[in-house]
Structure 1
Amino acid sequence: MTNLPFGFGTGDGEPPKDPQEFAAQMGGFFGELQKLLSWTGGPVNWDLAKQLAVQTLGDSTAIVSPADRAATADALRLADLWLDDVTDLPSGVKTTESWTRREWLDKTIPVWTQLCEPVAARVVSAMSAAIPAEQLQALGAGNPLAGIMNQVSGLMFGAQVGQGLGGLAQEVVSATDIGIPLGPTGLAALLPENVAAFSDGLARPADEVRLYLALREAAHQRLFSHVPWLRQRLLDTVEAYSRGISLDMSAIESAMSGVDPMNPESVQEALSGGLFAPQQTPEQQAALRRLETLLALVEGWVDAVVAAAAGDRMPGAEALREASRRRRATGGPAEQTFATLVGLELRPRRLREAAALWWSVTEKRGVSGRDEIWAHPDLLPSAEDLDDPLGYGEKVGQFDAPDDLSELDVDEPSPTDRPSPTNERGPTDERGPADDEAS
């Protein structure tokens, strides 16, 4: 017996010899299939996505021990104390938690829904429209399969998203690890199992690695808790990027021309051909640049603040900083797979330039002057400013934040949409081969 569609099977693929057992097994399968095909909650079947994400984890999810839970809480408290010396933004940590990989999935799904559904809706609509009319007409007006193509497409997209999230759950080390706050506001969390995996090969004590990652998590929490517009602006920018994706209709039509709506497995085969890869139109490139700039500014600020906090306190701080930079700049295998599947690039490709920019601003305006730039989105550096990060530090030292921020319109275009003022360039950033590779 062949494997059943949608990722379900009958164990080893062979039917039971007992007819009654086989009938019961197939009845359960078709009952589950009917439930999945009745999904009406949107373009992604999140029931299936969650189910497959958990299956992807397998037996890898370890229970968090009391010792790990206590160590995580202690690390986050100490991290907050160290950060008090290097930023004016107060603590954003209200509660601390230690998550298993399964808990990361459960607690971040609401935000992933906001991120994934815009592009999923476009793909599902495009796939449904690409099926030749004669294929649907051949089914007959009364055939229910003609009316559930959207459910089938949404189901298959849910399968792809679920596999991607299951992979990410095995890589992320904290609630803000991808640069977007995926958990509730004020909740700082580490994943001890993944923190331990990150520590492998770094030749640094486990406590030191945990504390460094706690510094990054606590710094993210400060920024997102006390810059009230940032969280929504970042989510809106991701949504705008997703909505601006231009799909290759000729590729979709070619792939879907061979789809038999009577055979859901043929839909799965069509989805495996890279149909979600976005086309790099000028509009798409502009949206991607806005997203990458904002992610880089967030990650660059965190990088600079954590480096200042760790300083001489942590012997391996610089090695851990470099490991974190490379990891964020390149992304892990699951992050790369997820980007291919749902069209979301969540890597701050210009992290090093952004970190140099925030360092330069701190040198010219001090900690308070640096953090004041987050008072309003119109004050943020642009993509052009990242081209000359040290020069931006020279330039920004000549300006102060406006006295009355209420006069600025928060809904005006992002600073990456407008040209930055023309000024003389400051000293050039000295970049080595590693910098070029990561950026």
Structure 2
Amino acid sequence: MTSTSALVDWQTAAQIARRVGRPGPVAPRAELDDLVDGLRSAARDAVPHVLRVTRMRPAGAEVERERDASGRFTRRVTVKRPDLGDVRVVDRATWARANTTSMAALTDPVLADLDVGARLGESSAARLAGAAEVGGLLALLSTKVLGQFDPYGPGRPTLLLVAPNVLAAERAMKVDPHDFRLWVCLHEQTHALQFAAAPWLADHLAGRLGGLLRDVTTSSVELSHAPLRDKVALVGRTLLDAVRGDLTTPVDQVMGPEQKEQLAEITAVMALLEGHADVMMDAVGRRVVPSVRTIRSRFEKRRDGEGAPRLDVVLRRVLGMDAKLAQYRDGAAFVREIEKQVGRDGLNAVWAEPAHLPSAREIADPRAWVRRVHS
């Protein structure tokens, strides 16, 4: 993996993440083989359940209408040979390396257009410093992520399932492994279906993120020339906010009002994606995942950091993980309220075109989205 980024040596970032990151729980070979096979099977088995419960289908998919006992066509359809992308069961280091590849694909074109290298004075030392920061961050995050659907990597969109984290989570929560693995895959395959049903979504998000990155990078370049005391103050404010419980990250400190508004709109879309996947993974019900209620209850406590050391709680805030949790819950509340108003088919209008995505205001006021889209 090579990159021309003026800010980050991506290959080195992946190597740092691998060296710094913890490898995960230890298990006998037979148990690890069962884990990998179980995750692959769960990813495959989740697809028909996700198609059924969401009432969505990939763009351009072949469908056939079903008949009832009398031979008459019903409203239900079956998607034939759905293609939601590839599935890879990976370790933590591989997850981190895949993310450096995707991050490079998203950020390098923007940085090249801005000619950041010329503005900063391109140097290997600067790129290695960026690699150390990104690699360290990915090493920490690689211990938390259970699964991730990646539409931005090379080749086909890919679902990454992080085997050691799934194993650690099901051990810590003492949940049924078969149920938990399927439950995780229901969430991630819902993400895969979102992007397959709305093929414009990946480019739309990339464009939004690219626009924000341009603005934030410009501010960051200016900050790089600021006195050392200003840089130290930035880090200090971020850590203080995290300890106090404010949902801020270092990037928040260099954003102006317009940039924060852009971020709020991107966050609204991410809240929709995460909230929709959270609602759908539970909607399959106990017939598919018998212990779903137990899993959800224990998983929510784990998300909230119940029993976690104070240092881990602060780290979660610095990494922005609490903000991510707020996305799940705000998005899920939005989805549930929309379904009360217009049903699941009415909700699915959100995937029709970019203009139907909710704004930041509408995530907090679902009825405003209904009035705008369904009036």
Query: TM-score, with normalisation over the residues of structure 1?
Result: 0.62
2:352 alignment partner in structure 1: 375
Question: Is residue 174 from structure 1 mapped to residue 174 from structure 2 by the alignment?
Answer: no
Q: Which residue of 1 aligns with 2:56?
A: 89
CA distance in 2, matches of 1:323, 1:124: 48
Structure with the bigger percentage of helix: 2
Name the SS of the counterpart of 1:347 in structure 2: helix
Q: Tell me the equivalent position of 1:34.
A: none
Q: CA deviation at 1:229?
A: 1.0
Post-superposition Cα deviations, 1:166-197, rounded to whole Å, max 9, x if no partner, equal 22222211133xxx645554533312211012
- Which residue of structure 2 aligns with residue 293 of structure 1? 268
Q: 2:97 aligns with which of 99, 106, 109?
A: 106
Q: Describe the superposition over 1:244-300 as per-residue Cα deviations: whole angstroms up to 9, x where unpaired.
A: 223495685322999xxxxxxxxxx99987886632411121121012111001111
Alpha carbons of structure 1 residues 382 and 327: separation in structure 2 relative to 1, 3 Å: farther
| 2:161 aligned with 1:190 | yes
Query: Is residue 253 from structure 1 mapped to residue 226 from structure 2 by the alignment?
Result: yes
SS at 1:278 equivalent:
helix
Paired residues of 1:292 and 1:348 also in contact (CA < 8 A): no
Is the 1:329–1:347 Cα contact (8 Å) retained in structure 2?
Answer: no
Deviation at 1:50, TM superposition (A): 1.9
Distance 1:151 1:211, change over 3 A: same
- With over 3 angstroms needed to count, the CA separation of the structure-2 counterparts of 1:123 and 1:89, relative to structure 1, is same
C-alpha separation between the residues in 2 aligned to 1:305 and 1:79?
11
Aligned position for 2:130: 157
Bigger mean CA deviation after superposition, 154-163 or 276-285: 276-285
The answer (yes or no) to whether the contact 1:101–1:170 under 8 Å persists in 2 is yes
- 1:103–1:288 distance in 2 versus 1, CA, 3 Å: same
Q: Residues 286 and 41 from structure 1, CA distance in 2 versus in 1: closer, same or farther, beyond 3 angstroms?
A: closer
Match of 2:340 in 1: 363
Question: Following the alignment from structure 2 to structure 1, what is the Cα–Cα distance between the partners of residues 10 and 159?
Answer: 25
> Residues 185 and 334 (structure 1 numbering): CA distance in 2 closer, same or farther, change over 3 Å?
farther
Q: Percent identity?
A: 22
Q: 1:373 and 1:59, CA in 2 relative to 1: closer, same or farther beyond 3 A? A: closer
Partner of 2:363: 386
Relative to 1, partners in 2 of residues 1:393 and 1:233: Cα closer, same or farther, differing over 3 Å? closer
Please list the CA deviations of residues 362-398 of structure 1 after superposition, one character each: whole Å capped at 9, or x if unmatched: 3343333221321101112222212223x34763685
Matched letter for residue 366 of structure 1: G
Would the alpha carbon gap of residues 59 and 303 (structure 1) be closer, same or farther in structure 2, given more than 3 Å must change? closer
Q: 1:350 to 1:65 in 2, by over 3 A?
A: closer
Secondary structure in 1 matching 2:227: helix
- The letter of the residue matching 1:212 is W
CA contact (8 A) 1:49 1:161 kept: yes
Report the Cα distance in structure 2 between the residues aligned to 1:185 and 1:325, rounded to whole angstroms.
32
Between the aligned partners of 1:398 and 1:149, the Cα distance in structure 2 is: 51
Structure with greater strand percent:
2
**Structure 2: gaps (5+ residues):** 58-81, 239-249, 306-311
Task: Give RMSD over aligned pairs.
Answer: 4.2
When the two structures are superposed, what TM-score results if normalisation uses the length of structure 2? Answer: 0.71
Larger radius of gyration: 1
Moved over 4 A (4+): 58-64, 115-129, 248-252, 269-277, 322-339
Q: 1:292 to 1:59 in 2, by over 3 A?
A: closer
1:73 to 21, 40, 48: 40
Contact 2:21 2:140 in 1 (8 A): yes
Determine the structure 1 residue equivalent to 2:68.
none
